[in-house]
A and B are shown apart, each in its own frame.
Chain A
Amino acid sequence: MLKLTQWLWGLGLLDSAWAALTMGALDLELSFPCQEVLWPLPAYLLVSAGCYALGIVGYSVATFHDCEDAVRELQSQILEAQADLTRNGLCF
C-alpha cells in the first residue's frame, strides 16, 4: 500500500472515531470535562505536530556539525594534487 494511502486510512479511522464520540453516535454518557477536551483535540494535535516538526528542524539546524578541518585538509590536498599531476604531464 502506498504511504499516502496508509496515512489516509489511519487519519480516516481516527477522524471517524472522534466524530462518533463528539456527536454522541455511540450513546455514551461522557462527562462534560471529557467532552470539553475531546472537541478541540484534532486541532490541538495538528498544531502540536506542526510545532514538533519545526522544533526538530530548528534543533537539527542549530546543532549541525561544522567541519572546518575538512576544508583545510581538502585545500592542502588540492595543492598537492595539482603539483603531482603537473609533474606527470597534465595540462590544467
Chain B
Amino acid sequence: MASTGASRGGAASPRPPQGRSSRQDKYSVLLPTYNERENLPLIVWLLVKSFSESAINYEIIIIDDGSPDGTREVAEQLEKIYGSDRILLRPREKKLGLGTAYIHGIKHATGNYVIIMDADLSHHPKFIPEFIRKQKEGNFDIVSGTRYKGNGGVYGWDLKRKIIRLYRKEVLQKLIEKCVSKGYVFQMEMIVRARQLNYTIGEVPISFVDRVYGESKLGGNEIVSFLKGLLTLFATT
C-alpha cells in the first residue's frame, strides 16, 4: 500500500468543542496605569501567579500615561524579569484617558480574549480563572465581576466604580467604537450598549478590597457624579 502522497481531502484537524478549548486561547490583560509604582509589581506578580497556576496562556499589556512617579521604570524591570512576550510595555506620553488607553491596548493585544482591570489591587487576579471558566461554561461574550451577589463583597467603601471584566476581543472593539461617554461612565455605557447589541453577559462574584482603607474617601462628590452619569446614560441610550 504505497502512499501516493496525496492528502485525503476533507480531513480537517478537529476543532475542539466549545467549552473546552484552552490550548488556542490567549488572554490579554490591559492595565492602564498612572502613578502605580507601588502597586504595579504586586498586581503583575499576582497575575503571573494566577495564570501560571492554571496553565493559562496570557500577556499583560501595561499602558502607562507618562507617570511622574517612575511607574514606567518599574514596568521595564518587570519586563526583564518575566520576559517581553508576557509583559508588553505600550506607554503614552501623557494622561490621555481610559477609553483611548483601551483602544491603544487592544491594537497590541495578540490574545483572542481581553481582560480589563485596575492596577491598584482593588480586584484580586485570583478571580480571573473563575471568569475564564464562567465564560466557557455559558459561552458568554462578556463576563463581569459583581460585588453584590454570591460571595461578593467589599472591604472599605470606595465608591469609585472599579470594574473587572473579560471580553471577547472583537466584542470589546465593537463596544469601544460605539461608546461616547468619558471616565467611568464609559464603563457603565459599555454594558448598556452590550445589552442593546444582544451580547451575552455573565457574572462572577468577586471581593473588592480597598487596600488603603482608613483614609476617608467617602465624598458626596462621588455620589453626585455617579448620579449625573446615570442620568446622562438614561437620557442618551
A positions within 8 Å CB-CB of B: 2-4, 60, 64-68, 70-71, 73-74, 77-78, 81-82, 84-85, 88-92
Contact = CB atoms under 8 A, between A and B. Distances in A.
Interface centre among A66, A67, A89 (most CB of B within 10 A): A67
A77 B77 contact: no
B148 interface: yes
Given A2-B235, A2-B237, A85-B41, A65 B152 contact: yes
A92 B70 CA distance: 10
A67 B46 CA distance: 19
A60 B148 contact: yes
Given A2-B236, A78-B121, 18 more contacts: A2-B235, A3-B234, A4-B235, A65-B153, A65-B154, A70-B209, A71-B213, A74-B121, A74-B209, A74-B211, A77-B46, A78-B42, A81-B42, A84-B45, A85-B81, A88-B81, A89-B81, A92-B38
Interface of B: 38, 41-42, 45-46, 74, 77-78, 80-81, 121, 124, 147-148, 151-155, 207, 209, 211, 213, 234-237
B38 to A, nearest CB: 8
A90 B77 CA distance: 6
Majority DSSP secondary structure for residues of B touching A = mixed
Nearest first, the 7 closest Cβ-Cβ pairs linking A and B are: A65-B153, A81-B45, A70-B207, A67-B207, A67-B153, A4-B235, A88-B81
Q: Is the interface of A mostly helix, strand, loop or mixed?
A: helix
30 contacts: A2-B236, A3-B234, A3-B237, A60-B148, A64-B154, A65-B152, A66-B154, A67-B151, A67-B153, A67-B155, A70-B124, A70-B207, A71-B209, A73-B124, A74-B124, A74-B211, A78-B42, A78-B121, A81-B45, A82-B41, A82-B42, A85-B41, A85-B45, A88-B81, A89-B77, A89-B80, A90-B41, A90-B77, A90-B81, A92-B38
- Which of the listed residues B42, B80, B124 has the most CB atoms from chain A within 10 Å of its own CB? B42
Contacts of B151: 65, 67
Contacts of A67: 151, 153-155, 207, 209
A9 B148 CA distance: 32
Given A2-B237, A67-B154, A67-B155, A91 B207 contact: no
Nearest to B74: A90
Contacts of B237: 2-3
Contacts of A71: 155, 209, 213
A4 B234 contact: yes
Chain A CB count within 10 A is highest, among B41, B74, B81, B151, for B41
Nearest to B150: A65
A3 B153 CA distance: 30
Contacts of A77: 46
Contacts of A78: 42, 121
A74 B155 CA distance: 11
B123 to A, nearest CB: 10
